[in-house]
Amino acid sequence: MYTFLSPYTFANGATVRNRIMLAPMTNFASAENGEVTAEELAYYRERSRGAGTVVTAVANVTPGGKGFPGEIGIDRDELVGSLSKLATTIQAEGAKAIVQIFHAGRMAPPDLLPDRQTVSASAVAPEREGATTPRELTEAEIQEIIKAFGDATRRAIQAGFDGVEIHGANTYLIQQFFSPHSNRRDDQWGGSVEKRMRFPLAVVREVLKAAEEADEQFIIGYRISPEEREEPGITMEDTLKFVNELANEELDYLHISVQDFFAGSMRDSSDKRSRVELIQDEVGAKIPVVGVGSLQIPDDVEQAMEGGVPLIALGRELVVEPQWVEKAASGRTDEIRTELSVDDREQLVVPESLWNAIVNRPGWFPVKEHAEN
């Protein structure tokens, strides 16, 4: 039997039926007001039948933190009923339901924001074409956003989710505070690596505090990007210091966001060691590490787990093959799809908005033109 098919029990007592997680992937399918849609529920239902844990697409904790059109909302109490439908849909298929919470910061599209003004740790624009310069957050606004992460956690608990994942990766606001590129502050929130950790750690502690009203088996994860390409940018040395701090918090897992599990440094081409394995070796004895990244078939996942990583998240792989886990479990690995055709949307139960993004963004997914006859 594959290692990833065995159950896993977190330190808080929560048990998942296997080691495979659906990675959080934006699907652009929620209503404009942040409510989940029937199309979105069908997409999650289809992918909750095999995975042990489902981490939803990001949900914004404030109106000014929205990062995508069609994003799940968790910024208002009136959305609890909608969120509850999502949690129940996932859990009905036997998976744990975890909602990912975030603030987009300077990466938010201005036209999605109430005042069309992006914000960040400092007034530094991202290094990408057409990027706007954000406004630096005030002390009062920083405190409000920290509190908003706690409020979002409370709503997740009320909606019946099994946990939350704090999105501290992929260049969004929490990472922007940790990054020396986006954070040029000279107050308590910026400067040294220790000061740049303060905002992420304040969010973690606010979420942990809010979760005290939940069942003790409520799962709290944190997603992190190990490095940045920018100069100055996050280095592996920074990250190893940071993950040691995170490992001292009462978190249940640390999710490492990389494109390829086995890839080396994006900053130093001579450093070939897997970023996930480096973090596993550093803190894996203290906190469960979740690996991810271009693991298409069961043998890839088994190889990734050989270094001790206990949990693996699959994103694109479970979009392309919703029955990935079931086919692995029943010995039908040769039937696992590793590419999709432009004709497959309805069969794969993918929202039209996500499907359009897939077929119109070359290289994101392995897409062939048409299904073979």
Burial state string for 319-358 with b = 16 or more CB within 10 A and e = fewer than 16:
bbbbbbbebbbeeeeeebbeebbeebbeebbbbebbbebb
Which among 160, 159, 178 has a CA at the least distance from the CA of 168? Answer: 178
Known catalytic residue at 172: yes
Of 8, 44, 172, 222, the catalytic one is 172
d(CA 88, CA 173): 29
d(CA 317, CA 23): 10
The tokens of 198 are what?
């303060």
Asked if 99 and 71 count as a contact pair (C-beta separation under 8 A), the reply is: no
The tokens of 212 are what?
């005290």
Asked if 165 and 24 count as a contact pair (C-beta separation under 8 A), the reply is: yes
Instruction: Give me Rg for the CA atoms of the chain.
Output: 19
Which among 64, 71, 174, 170 has a CA at the least distance from the CA of 119? Answer: 64
d(CA 356, CA 318): 17
Helix, strand or coil, per DSSP, at residue 107: helix
Asked if 208 and 218 count as a contact pair (C-beta separation under 8 A), the reply is: no
Indicate the residue type of 57.
A
Residue corresponding to tokens 């036209």: 111
Q: Of all helices (H) and strands (E), which one includes residue 318?
A: helix 316-320
Which among 332, 336, 341 has a CA at the least distance from the CA of 366? Answer: 341
d(CA 52, CA 131): 38
d(CA 16, CA 36): 25
Question: Where in the sequence numbering do the catalytic residues fall?
Answer: 172
